[in-house]
Amino acid sequence: MSELNNLKFEKALSELLDVCAQSSVVSDLDKIEKAARVAYDILGNTCWEDNNPIIFHSIDVARVIAHEIGFGTDSIIAAVLHNVFESSNDKDELIAKLPQMFGDVVFQLLEGLFKINSIDTVTISVHSENFRRLMLTLAGDIRVVLIKIADRLVDMRNLDILPPELQNKYATETSYLYAPLAHRMGIYGIKSELEDLSLKYLRPGDYLNIVQKLEETSEERRKFVSAFVKPIESKLKVRNFKFDMKARTKSIYSIWNKMKKSKVSFEEVFDLFAIRVILDTIPENEKSECWQVYSVVTEEYQPNPERMRDWISIPKSNGYESLHTTVMGPHGKWVEVQIRTLRMDEIAEKGMAAHWKYKGGKGNVELDNWLAHIREVLESPESDPNALLQEFKTNIYDDEVFVFTPMGDLKKLSAGSTILDFAYEIHSDLGDKCVGGKVNNRKVSIKYKLKNGDQVIIETSNNQKPKIDWLDFVVTSKAKSRIKASLNEDKKREALNGKEIVKRKFKNWKIDYTDEVIRKLLSELKFKSAQDMYYAVSVGSLEALQLKNILREKAEAPKAKEVLGELLPKKEIENLAFDSTDEFLVIDKNLKNINYKLAQCCNPIFGDSIFGFITIRDGIKIHRENCPNAKQMKERYPYRFIKAKWQDNKQNNSFQATIHMSGADRQGLVGDISYIIAKDLGVQMRSINIDAKNGNFEGVMRIFVNNVEHLDFLIHKLKNLKGIDHVSRGDY
């Protein structure tokens, strides 16, 4: 060990002990010093990639835990020792003695931190499975979360020594993971610093611009604050309140975020700072004195009722307590005033650590429940870590809505929560069967968005089950994860049914059911998994016969009777006629009492080359081979095509046909056309439409003919009429 490092270590240790001496752990200074010396013994001069000794980073983290978060001895010792596993020296024997030296709690914290440090967290956004592992570790002991946040804060404070690509990765990860975690833990000071430091490296131009603007306007703000607080201070002193007042400027990130979201300039951000009134009072008087101060403030300045926030009566789920109001100050400027007690202020600054201090280590029940839910979601095999990561990033800052059960129990949900979210919050089965409910005795749908103070009754039905569109309007992670799990269960059941169908068909077709065959089908059909393919077969979006056609490769095309037997019920094909080889479906000219129809898109008539197409609802439809829709249909549904031909008999039956005509308009033209059809050929006309313009005409005529030869003869006769230049058969 170098002499210089020894001197630096002694100085760093002395600073840590000074910080600890000013806190509640003053009686445990010897333990903390021992832990630091053991850590130095294990780590020695082992350095990070930037050549900075690891031991100094560890002591910095411990100092954050002691001073800025305010946790106790075990957490400080764990912070000091949290990098001992990074040692390249042969110190395994000494590491093994840590539980004996510092207790099982410290060692459990170290194990949790070791698990986190073994995860490549900087690439979490790419490898989302790492996020699952990280959150599972964090969802164990809250102290592990806080030590890891402190660890990241020290990293961010020293980020300028890293190369630009690593600066960007650390800043990105901090902004979407560690800053939201700090917010959820209630340590707002550290949350704001993490956000500011992330912005400094991700958007350096924006960051420096806001810093400069704040420096330029600092004197103006100081004068305004002085004028604003003076009358309030006077009134509070007259009433003998013990208090402190200070102005807190909005964080750089918060200002940038406000400018971005509201699309305003720096000068247009009206709430650049807040005035904080901190009362020194006993717990019994906290609420009453906060409301008395609120009365004083609003007597002096006009409040904005829409900006009133009461987190004293009902604290936030991370434990935050404060009374907020926005009032019109001097020169017509809006000012936010935050009223709280010393205890509330410490909880706001130090979050969970302060809860442990004031509640004897019991912490915050709401926060424990949140971490337990995170673990429940992550341990579900159906959970999507990427989706959870996105939700974690976007929803953790949301405000809350407070509603009541029929029995009067208070429930906290994310802002924007619906009746369905509430049902899932009570119980998963209640959510699965929810069909709506009553809010304040008024019937509402499952999409109803809850408001503060609503009393909610859930209505259910045993026939109800989760639907995929529910995911479009629920907002809580509990509801989303349960809906996805239920949908996956339904899909699994359908997939198992589809798999049995495929196996049964393969057996009938004498096709081996092997992994190689399934892989070929998945590749051809572009399914991601076999489960997706089986599901499609079960619900009918994929017919089993299509699988057979793919596996046939260059084998002969299936026969008409075989295709129909696969796709239609047996009763529907009993009376159909086939040729001697079953290759063609035979279409009788007598169209009465048959279970196929002539397609209206091309109007086939006797003598046309035709094919059959099997539809889901209308049975078999007969199309002309040159039908304008034939190409698209064959490309999309080749397995629904069957060969077809007309039955040759002597019966005269009628088929609808369309004829298009054009030429020079003249008097008596329509009469001549009608005469040829009615008198010469005995053809039945359904309609005729002639449109004449500028001496020319275009016409469409719909008629019934016996067959193709009959139609051709009629067209020939019409072409010989005076003035008609063009006659052709139309598709419809």
Q: Are residues 264 and 258 in contact, defined by beta-carbon separation less than 8 angstroms?
A: yes
Nearest to 466 by CA among 482, 477, 450, 449: 482
Q: Fill in the DSSP letter of residue 82.
A: T
Model's pTM, two decimal places?
0.56
DSSP assignment of 583-632 equals: -SEEEPS--TT-SEEE-TTT---TTS-EEEEE-SSS-EEEEETT-TTHHH
Amino acid 731: pLDDT: 67
Distance CA(204)–CA(199), nearest Å, equals: 7
Cβ–Cβ contacts within 10 Å for residue 567, how many? 20
Q: What is the pLDDT of residues 575-621, one digit of tens each?
A: 676 766 666 777 765 555 456 788 888 888 887 888 888 776 677 88
Q: Name residue 548's beta-bridge partners.
A: none
Q: What is the pLDDT of residues 173-203, one digit of tens each?
A: 888 778 887 887 778 889 999 999 999 999 9
Q: Are residues 354 and 346 in contact, defined by beta-carbon separation less than 8 angstroms?
A: yes
The encoded tokens of residue 691 equal 């449109």
Cβ–Cβ contacts within 10 Å for residue 585, how many? 25
For the structural domain made of 655-730, what CATH number should be given? 3.30.70.260
| CB environment 528-553: b (16+ within 10 A), e (fewer) | eebbbbbbbbbeeebbbbbbbbbbee
Distance CA(200)–CA(501), nearest Å, equals: 59
Q: Where are the alpha helices (DSSP H) in 351-452?
A: 352-358, 365-379, 385-395, 419-426, 428-432
Q: Fill in the DSSP letter of residue 523.
A: H
Looking at domain 205-350, which of 3.30.460.10, 3.40.1110.10, 2.60.40.290, 3.20.20.70 is its CATH number? 3.30.460.10
Q: Are residues 182 and 145 in contact, defined by beta-carbon separation less than 8 angstroms?
A: no
Pairing of strands 456-460, 434-439: antiparallel
Q: Please return the burial class of 670, using the count of CB atoms within 10 Å of its CB with bins 0-12, 13-18 and 19+.
A: middle
Residue spans of the chain under pLDDT 50: 1, 123-128, 361, 378-379, 381-382, 385, 389, 392-397, 554-555, 593
Distance CA(249)–CA(275), nearest Å, equals: 9
Amino acid 593: pLDDT: 47
Amino acid 588: pLDDT: 66
91 Cβ contact list (under 8 Å, min separation 6): 41, 42, 84
Q: Fill in the DSSP letter of residue 330.
A: G
Q: Please return the burial class of 43, using the count of CB atoms within 10 Å of its CB with bins 0-12, 13-18 and 19+.
A: buried
Amino acid 367: pLDDT: 52
Which of helix, strand or coil describes residue 503? Answer: helix
| CB environment 244-260: b (16+ within 10 A), e (fewer) | ebebeebbbbbbbebbe
R_g of the chain, CA atoms, integer Å: 39
Distance CA(272)–CA(264), nearest Å, equals: 13
Range 3-201: architecture per CATH: Orthogonal Bundle (1.10)
Query: Cα dist. 721→13, 124, 653, 688, 717 in Å?
Result: 113, 80, 27, 16, 7
Looking at domain 365-483, which of 3.10.20.30, 2.70.98.10, 3.30.1390.20, 3.30.559.10 is its CATH number? 3.10.20.30
Q: What's the CA dihedral at 377, 378, 383, 386 to 10 degrees? A: 120
Amino acid 443: pLDDT: 93
Residue ranges per domain, the chain? 3-201, 205-350, 365-483, 487-552, 560-646, 655-730
